Chain A
Amino acid sequence: MCWNTAEFPVWLLHQLLNIIHTPWRMSLLRGLLGMELIGTSVRLFLDFQEKLASLDSALILDVPLGVISRIEKMGGATSRGENSYGLDITCKDMRNLRFALKQEGHSRRDMFEILTRYAFPLAHSLPIFAFLNEEKFNVDGWTVYNPVEEYRRQGLPNHHWRITFINKCYELCDTYPALLVVPYRASDDDLRRVATFRSRNRIPVLSWIHPENKTVIVRCSQPLVGMSGKRNKDDEKYLDVIRETNRQISKLTIYDARPNVNAVANKATGGGYESDDAYHNAELFFLDIHNIHVMRESLKKVKDIVYPNVEESHWLSSLESTHWLEHIKLVLTGAIQVADKVSSGKSSVLVHCSDGWDRTAQLTSLAMLMLDSFYRSIEGFEILVQKEWISFGHKFASRIGHGDKNHADADRSPIFLQFIDCVWQMSKQFPTAFEFNERFLITILDHLYSCRFGTFLYNCESAREKQKVTERTISLWSLINSNKDKFKNPFYTKEINRVLYPVASMRHLELWVNYYIRWNPRIKQQQPNPVEQRYVELLALRDEYIQRLEELQLASSAKLSDPSTSPSGPSQMMPHVHTHF
């Protein structure tokens, strides 16, 4: 089934509305409202009857339909008083729009139905917007991530690790990718037996290997220990095999992302954690990160203090009471521990939570970002997201609720947003370490909801394959990679072997105002255009400089072969090469 354009009604400035309530105390704006569906967005035009000092033209609000989480009617036919009758639209990106309408003419019913129909296509047997998107880009973002190439970049397979296609048809584990990296010494039968002991068959597989000390980050789900404290010889042996791939340390470190009590409580539903008795050669630590429900409630509290009014009098203590930054701190602290264990502790690390698709993904991907500078480039980061989140089955469809009208669904949770927030915190602390800028991160988040691209649709690779997502939709990376300059950090200096340890203390974390409060005109960056202009200039200058340096390097390498050149030449050149890039 397909939408044809004729089905998009276009109301251009003829829906007479009484009052427009925009958020953020921009007071009441009175004017005419027009609504138009453009592709995957609903565009709202506001044309003011009274000219406002700050806004001299019509205000246009582009609200991607995918961003709408809830549409509600306010008031009824008998409502009295101004602004008591209309529509209230809750968005997933911290925005709320409230329109007060005139009661005459039943215009609201039409608007409500049209909006509901297209904002929640799943409930109306309509396809998700991404399948209708006919945009063209000059690069294909679906080619960015190729697992074989990525593992080869990491130096895999090697003597200890092999690539297996056992999950080719998603029979071993339906939420894992087709291609997995497992210990060389574990046979496919071993893997099948281990799968029976891990929640949802998510067996321990390799995420990342240290290029020098060969320690690894391995991810999985919780073991099915249960109340009776079940054991599984194959699982125990399998972890030992993982430990032995690295001969430097006698213990395997297991990070259970959950708080200790939650891990214990999970035994009641058949889960649990690796006990000392069963796993002699492993050390287990709990990282105290709370579950998806806690995170959702925390973000809800953040929204409460920034919408509809920004909490004024006790801003900092209100912010504290949301605990959002505290959760960010715990996630970052956990990732730092993983990275440090692998890099300095020279111990292989196994990370899991309950199912291994939320907190586990946060920890492995953040640790990899700290350890491997490749992931700090634009394409590297795309690969990281594609690999650790999308291919390993972070349940984007359930967590975001694409096209789904059940806004109160308990499965929704801002886990991926929290990850991006952590990345932003890191980029604040290391302003030259990331190739991408803040706009890149915000763009990713915008399209996490927009449904314009197929990138974040569905819960796992098998579902995406079934829906032929890569054939039928466009990748978000097509948009980004075809206009990379817009997303570049002009101060990026490439450093190969630097491990980044951000400071995860509360003193050094801050609320991402440009994201969470960006709709408030009073908070807006005051000088966006000159800053951007300057960044673009700097980027151009930088490219010019790189080019000149390359020429110089060529010239100097030519000189190197000439024995008569002074020996100081190359040694002076080298530090430059390192410091600038």
Chain B
Amino acid sequence: MEFSELIRTGRAQAKLLRGPEAPPLRGTLCVTGHHLLLSPGPQATSDLWLLLLRRVDSIEKRVSGDSGTITLRCKDLRVLQLDIEGVEATLDIARSIEALSSLESVITSFPFFYRPKGLRLGDAWHFHPPERYYKRVARETNAWRLSEVNEDFSLCPSYPRAVIVPRAVDDDALARCARFRQGGRFPVLSYHHAPSGTVLLRSSQPLTGPQKRRCAEDEELLRAALAGARPGARGFILDTRSAQAAKQARVTGGGTEAKAAYPGWKRLHRPLERGWPLQESFVRLVEACGDLEQSMDRWLSQLEACHWLAHVKEALSTACLAAQGVGREGACVLVHGAEGTDSTLLVTSLAQLILDPSSRTMAGFQELVEREWIQAGHPFQLRCAHSAFSHARPKHEAPTFLLFLDCVWQLGRQFPLSLEFGEGLLLALFEHAYASPFGTFLCSSEKERCLCEVRTRTHSLWSGLNQPKEQRKLRNPLYVPSPLAIWPSVELQTLRLWQGLFLRWIRPPEPSEVAWEKVWQIVTDKKTEGCEPTVSASEPRL
């Protein structure tokens, strides 16, 4: 096996420091193909300590005298320090971790070896298939149909097999639409708003180019979307780039929908940050949070200089705009930026959370993440290859998904009763998106997942999360279903730094977690009549 070549040393004596709160651990350190182990020795009371090597974001080694120190900065923002006996051992272990944590091959990654007790392979991959949602919309509206045109991923490599399109548009027309949109991402339905009958659509930019090309089928598709909603319905095209950036994209073959070509549609530009600037914002925020030496008088302006909260605000207000178009104006809304795999998904998924009560349930939210992020082709493998600590030159990294989770957290903070899940689920999704024993966030598209046989050879995160023992951590004890839309306040004054994530390993965890546990006790003790524990909302609905 090729891992053994990368492991330079078997074992060493080490002391592990896990931050100010946890006591240090001593024992034998050991590197395996996927993990770093610390075995505290036979007489110790604590268990084996285990770290998934993929979780390591950056590694720093220092030697002095006959011992060394390795600092591991993890993708979940935790910082660990290992004091190791022996200079050679230190360097060997550091090299082994460096090599093993940066392996790029998907099929040798840990999810392909992870076989937890109590879970069966292949289970739970059927939990949240987007087809189910699409079939329901097709059945209810009669204006939309499921198409298998992308069955072999030839039309659009980043779309799933099943796509939902206006009934009036046939598969041949879709093929031509796909050629007119970047990466083949022709407009598809993202969400059907039953009360108004209108829809939220998403796509990538049209390839108008400098010649301002047009595509009759693409125009027909959007016309059909309007007609399917309601006779005379209007539409908004929400471009997540500035008007100027959209115009400039023509030089490289992209562009935006010409007004004359799409009657009934009005274009709006709401620039959202993406790519490297977003990653930089994340890096600077984590740096500021971890910088404990520096005088605290400047904390707020430092926080402001990171712009992270400004990005949260922009994302939420753009999502509100999309939701307003669908929910209040009774219009159809098409969202796209350039590729349509990042800020586009951020806007469509948040808009659904605002409008759709079913996406605020535990199962509904998982379904939303599966449908609007994983199946919709957000390139997790590229975007989440590294987190905020990596020294490597970033190529495709961007914390778009984290920004989404942060926006959801803000919603949850403003509407403490409206989400069935709590901060715990959001933290878990953040962790697993960056490094996970489960296969759910592997690869960048459904096509790649099929090639790697992810569904048959790894476990799904959803089955891991939906185990009964996880529920207290993940669910919101105060949840009360409400049929209303939740319109968040997007003023900077009402947005907060997500302390539970960004200060998770810095603050003393005690009060908020203790409080969460107490709230659970108060709530569940009410639901449990007498001494018999009855099945309550804390049981997962599988």
Give A contacts to B, CB under 8 Å.
306, 310, 312, 314-317, 319-320, 325-326, 329, 429-432, 490-491, 493, 503, 505-508, 510-511, 513, 517, 520, 522-527, 530-531, 534, 538, 541-542, 544-545, 579-580
With A329-B296, A431-B511, A493-B518 already in contact, 14 other A-B pairs whose C-beta atoms are closer than 8 Å: A315-B304, A320-B298, A432-B519, A506-B297, A506-B299, A507-B506, A526-B486, A526-B487, A527-B414, A530-B480, A534-B480, A538-B523, A538-B526, A542-B522
Total number of residue pairs linking A and B with CB closer than 8 Å: 111
Q: Scoring B residues 481 to 509 as 1 if CB is less than 8 Å from chain A, else 0, what string do you get? A: 01000111101111011010001001110
Contact of A522 among B491, B496, B519 (CB under 8 A): B491
Some 6 contacts from A to B, beta carbons below 8 A apart, are A310-B493, A317-B301, A431-B511, A493-B518, A530-B417, A545-B526
CB A324 to nearest CB in B, in angstroms, measures 11
Contact A527 B511 (CB under 8 A): no
B493 near A517 (CB under 8 angstroms)? yes
User: Is the Cβ of B298 less than 8 Å from the Cβ of A432?
Assistant: no
B518 interface neighbour in A317, A432, A530, Cβ under 8 Å: A432
Tell yes or no: B22 within 8 A of A by CB: no
Whether A316 and B492, one on each chain, are in contact in the complex, defined by CB atoms closer than 8 angstroms, is yes
Q: Please give the residue numbers on chain B whose beta carbons come within 8 Å of chain A beta carbons, in ascending order.
A: 289, 296-301, 303-304, 309, 414-418, 478, 480, 482, 486-489, 491-494, 496-497, 499, 503, 506-508, 511-512, 514-515, 518-519, 521-523, 525-526
**Listed residue (A493, A526, A538) with the most chain B CB atoms within 10 angstroms of its CB:** A526
Taking the closest CB of chain B, its distance from the CB of A509, in whole angstroms, is: 9
- Contact at B298–A527, with CB atoms within 8 Å? no
Contact A523 B522 (CB under 8 A): no
Q: Kindly state the separation between the CA atoms of A499 and B94 in the bound complex, as whole angstroms.
A: 43
**Complex CA distance for A326 and B523, rounded to whole angstroms:** 37
Contact, CB under 8 Å: B417 / A314: no
Closest residue of chain A to B516 (Cβ to Cβ) is A431
Question: Which A residues are in CB contact (< 8 Å) with B508?
Answer: 503
Whole-angstrom distance between the Cβ of A551 and the nearest chain B Cβ: 11
Q: Give the docked Cα–Cα distance between A530 and B418 (Å).
A: 10
User: Are B523 and A325 in touch, CB under 8 angstroms?
Assistant: no
Query: When A493-B518, A506-B299, A530-B482 are in contact, do A524 and B489 touch as well, CB less than 8 Å?
Result: yes
What's the least CB distance linking A376 to chain B, in Å?
Answer: 14
Residues of B within 8 A of A523 (CB): 489, 491, 493-494
Residues of chain B within 8 A (CB-CB) of A493 are: 518, 522
- Pick from A315, A326, A493, A542 the residue with the most CB of B within 10 Å: A315
**Set of chain B residues within 8 Å of A490, measured between Cβ atoms:** 522
Given A530-B482, A534-B480, residue A319 in contact with residue B300 (CB < 8 A): yes
Indicate if the CB atoms of A522 and B489 lie closer than 8 Å. Answer: yes
Known A-B contacts A310-B491, A523-B489, A530-B480; A507 and B503 likewise in contact (beta carbons under 8 Å): yes
CB pair B304 A317 closer than 8 Å: yes
CB distance from A265 to the nearest CB of B (A): 23
Closest Cβ of chain B to A434, distance in Å, is: 11
Task: Give complex CA distance A527, B486 in Å.
Answer: 9
Residues B522 and A491 in contact, CB atoms below 8 Å apart = yes
Residue numbers in A under 8 Å from B496 (CB-CB): 510
A320 adjacent to B301 (CB under 8 Å): yes
CB-CB < 8 A to A315: which residues of B?
304, 492-493
Q: Is the CB of A314 within 8 A of B304?
A: yes
Q: Which residues of A contact B301 (CB under 8 A)?
A: 316-317, 320
Q: Is the pair A579, B297 in contact by a Cβ cutoff of 8 Å?
A: no
Inter-chain contact A527/B300, CB cutoff 8 Å: no
Contact of A513 among B309, B480, B494, B497 (CB under 8 A): B494
B478 contact from A429, A506, A534, Cβ within 8 A: A534
Cross-chain contact of A541 among B300, B418, B526 (Cβ < 8 A): B526
Which of A320, A430, A432 has a CB less than 8 Å from the CB of B300? A320
Q: How far is the CA of A503 from the CA of B507 in the complex (A)?
A: 8
B515 A431 Cβ-Cβ under 8 A: yes
Given the interface pairs A491-B522, A508-B507, A526-B489, the reply to whether A316 lies near B512 with Cβ below 8 Å is no
What residues on A are CB-neighbors of B299 within 8 Å?
Answer: 320, 506-507
* B492 contacts A312, C-beta separation under 8 Å: yes
> Are A431 and B482 CB-contacts (below 8 A) given A310-B493, A312-B492?
no
A455 to chain B, nearest CB (A): 31
Contact present for B296 and A505 (CB under 8 Å):
yes
Which of B488, B493, B521, B523 contacts A526, CB < 8 Å?
A: B488
How many angstroms from the CA of A511 to the CA of B415 in the assembled complex? 19
Contact among B289, B488, B503, B518 for A491, CB-based, below 8 A? B518
Does B518 lie within 8 Å of A429, measured CB to CB? no
Closest 6 CB pairs of A and B: A316-B304, A320-B300, A317-B301, A541-B526, A506-B299, A506-B296
A142 to B46, CA, bound (A): 56
